[in-house]
Amino acid sequence: MAVGQVLGAAALWGISGVVARALFNRAVEPAHLVQVRMILGGLALLPLALRGGRPGGPWLKLLPAYAVALAGVQLTYFQAIQAAGVATAVFLQYTAPLLVAAFESARERRLPPRPVLLALAAAVAGSALLVLPGGGLRIPPAGLAWGVASAFAMAAGTVLAGAAQRRGARPLPLLAFGLLAGSLLFLPVRTPWGALLAVGRGDWPFFLFIALFATAVPFALYVAALGRLRGSVVMLVAMLEPVLGAALAWAALGEALSGAQLAGGALILAGIGLAVAGGRKG
């Protein structure tokens, strides 16, 4: 069940990348897209989040930090795309499982299970082969900074979501309030209603798709899975996203895949299999 949730989230994130690129081609700013997707995604989840009653408990102390992580991972990722390109941004962000595995090891004072260690090595190596087919990693300083920040924000959000659930948080309230609180971080730039009014009439279908199917649904699936799987394992399974993105580019856009890219995709899939086999919470 939990593995299926993460795979579903990764599939939606992979498909939505095409939609996000279409918006950037229409001169939409990354910060504007992030703010609107958080507002709409949070509002879409709010009725479901409130069905179990008014949320409360010790996990609320983690909500501000989680909101910052949610906003940060999206904004830094899009900024990395602008500064260094999609391939480099994807590669740098998906080094985040290494950070989460290191945190889990420090917290538990033991190394992750051997299958998870092998999965980490296979998946990160596969990601490099898949998204960096030229074999070189020439990153502008700004792109490197944004990409590393994206990895740390993704790792922080994963760790905080897991910690909040251990303190009694339900996935939907955690995510709904995290998204809405995170959208308020953009107040120095524009108000929430100002952000919504600034969306062009022709851009609304793109924004709605990203808010629902790249934010509300996949993040809800991802956070729910953190209650059953180690954070590092959830992130490893989510690495299906670059594999799916490459496959879609081949199928829809006719972009050829080299032998190295195919090998990279196979390594990622092998890493996901190893992670699923050896990383369940128990």
pLDDT digits (tens, 9 = 90+) for 205-223: 999 999 999 899 999 999 9
Q: How far apart are the first and last CA of the chain?
A: 15
Q: What pLDDT was estimated at residue 126?
A: 86
Per-residue pLDDT of 109-128, as tens digits, reads 888 778 788 888 888 888 87
The tokens describing 50, both together, are: 């409130």
* CA atoms within a 13 Å half-sphere pointing along the CA-CB vector of 237: 26
**Between residues 260 and 256, which one has the greater pLDDT?**
260
**What is the 3-class SS of 228-244, one letter each residue?**
CECHHHHHHHCCHHHHH
Tell me how many domains the chain contains. 1
Q: How many Å is the maximal CA-CA distance in the chain?
A: 54
Lowest mean pLDDT among 24-28, 135-139, 174-178, 269-273: 135-139
Is pLDDT of 252 > 70?
no
Q: How far is CA 69 from the centre of its chain?
A: 11
Q: Model confidence at 39, in pLDDT bands (50, 70, 90)?
A: very high
Kindly report the average pLDDT of the chain as a whole number. Answer: 85
pLDDT (average), residues 76-93: 79
Residue 246 has pLDDT above 70, yes or no: no
Whether the CB-CB separation of 212 and 44 falls below 8 Å is answered with: yes
Q: Which amino acid is at 60?
A: L
Return the minimum-mean-pLDDT range out of 18-22, 109-113, 222-226: 18-22
pLDDT tops 80 at residue 258: no
- Tokens linked to 95: 């080094």
Q: Residue range 189-217: average pLDDT?
A: 94
DSSP the chain: -HHHHHHHHHHHHHHHHHHHHHHHHTT--HHHHHHHHHHHHHHHHHHHHTTT-S--SGGGGGHHHHHHHHHHHHHHHHHHHHHH-HHHHHHHHTTHHHHHHHHHHHHHTSPPPHHHHHHHHHHHHHHHHHH-TTS-----HHHHHHHHHHHHHHHHHHHHHHHHHHTT--HHHHHHHHHHHHHGGGTTT--HHHHHHTS-GGGHHHHHHHHIIIIIHHHHHHHHHTTTB-HHHHHHHTTHHHHHHHHHHHHHH-----HHHHHHHHHHHHHHHHHHHH-B--
Residue 19 clears pLDDT 90, i.e. is over it: no
More confident residue, 14 or 271: 271
Range of the domain at 63: 2-278
Banded model confidence at residue 282, pLDDT cuts 50, 70, 90: very low
pLDDT at position 162: 92
Residue 270 has pLDDT above 80, yes or no: yes
Would you say residue 79 has pLDDT above 70?
Answer: yes
pLDDT above 80 (res 12): yes
Mean pLDDT (whole number) for 50-57: 80
Confidence of residue 40 (pLDDT cuts 50, 70, 90): very high
